[in-house]
Amino acid sequence: MKKYLIFGIITFVLLSSFPLYTFAIDEGFNEKESLTAALWQQTSSEYRALCYQAFNVARDRINIDLKKEWAKPRAVIIDLDETIIFNAKYNATDVIREQEYPKEFYEWIASGDATPIPGSDEFLQFVNEEGYTIFYVTNRRDECTDITLQQIVDLELPQADREHLLMRGTDHTKQGRRDKVSEDYVVILFIGDNCVDFYGDYYNESIEERKNITDSLQAKWGREFIILPNSMHGSWQKALYHGVVDWLSDEESLRHKASLLEIIE
């Protein structure tokens, strides 16, 4: 019994003296339950492995496609944020404190501190060398077109110009932009981190409806649709509040999320 008591006292002293422990209980925290998600995306080797896996699968699909013939030019449609551009510092900051959006997000874009998602730059160079047209389809607002274009130029992404950068406009689902590209190209791959990067019907749907859409598209995942991990943000979070009143307190929001968990009775 004594050895367990001594161990407990030592553990308490160590945790109490660890500077990050005090920081972690700071009342300035925003969305405390997102802390683990931010840590996973920034620190885990599993996250990096999944990114490499996604782009390895994408490369394999292109190698298969190169053996085929098409009547139209070939293209790849790819998202930017959390698909090519790693915004983990910005997203993690939002866990620590409330940020002013979109002002601080635009400042982050312009800062030049973002880095490529693991495996993305090698894949894009590969498809560019193989003659595929790349369309960067993002839901960033039109007002940040110039800084977004400068960002992908600075990241040395291929085909980084206005013709290949398709901003949001009024097309929140991205479906209109995808359809427009498909008029002139055969799109071999769609790559993103959010289900709306693949299919417009996901937009503003409930959890169950989104699951049903995913199941109906089972044959496309890993073949035509390549999805990357993103636990930090996305339309999946909006689906959590589908049919719920617009404004909830922090405590009400946390209780609502907990109520959606399936647990052992």
Q: Which amino acid is at 204?
A: N
Q: Which two tokens stand for residue 258?
A: 């907990």
Q: Which two tokens stand for residue 19?
A: 């500077």
User: Tell me, what's the pLDDT at 166?
Assistant: 98
Phi, psi dihedrals of residue 208, rounded to the nearest 5°: -65, -40
According to DSSP, residue 158 is labeled T
User: Tell me, what's the pLDDT at 110?
Assistant: 97
Q: How far is CA 196 from the centre of its chain?
A: 11
Q: How far is CA 102 from the centre of its chain?
A: 17
User: Tell me, what's the pLDDT at 9?
Assistant: 37
49-63 CB burial, b ≥16 within 10 A, e <16? eebbbbbebbbebbe
Write out the DSSP string of 211-250.
Answer: HHHHHHTGGGBTTTEEE----S-SHHHHHTTTTS-S---H
User: Tell me, what's the pLDDT at 246?
Assistant: 75
Q: Domains in the chain, ordered, with CATH? A: 50-233 (3.40.50.1000)
Per-residue pLDDT of the chain (265 residues; tens, 9 = 90+): 444 444 443 334 333 433 443 334 345 555 666 899 999 999 999 999 999 999 999 999 999 999 999 999 999 999 999 999 999 999 999 889 989 999 999 999 999 999 999 999 999 999 999 999 999 999 999 999 999 999 999 999 999 999 999 999 999 999 999 999 999 999 999 999 999 999 999 999 999 999 999 999 999 999 999 999 999 999 999 999 999 977 898 889 889 999 999 999 9
Q: Output 141-144 pairs: Cβ under 8 A, ≥24 positions apart.
A: 141/102, 141/167, 141/168, 142/167, 142/168, 142/169, 144/102, 144/106, 144/109
CA distance 171 to 202: 13
Partners of residue 135 on adjacent β-strands: 77
- The pTM of this model reads 0.88
User: Tell me, what's the pLDDT at 18?
Assistant: 38
Nearest 5°: the CA angle 185, 189, 190 is 100
How many H-runs (helices) and E-runs (strands) does the chain carry? 12, 7
User: Tell me, what's the pLDDT at 263?
Assistant: 95
Rounded to a whole number, what is the largest CA-CA distance in the chain?
78
Write out the DSSP string of 37-105.
Answer: HHHHHHH-HHHHHHHHHHHHHHHHHHHHHTTS--SS-EEEEE--BTTTEE-HHHHHHHHHS---TTHHH
Rg value, the chain, Cα: 21
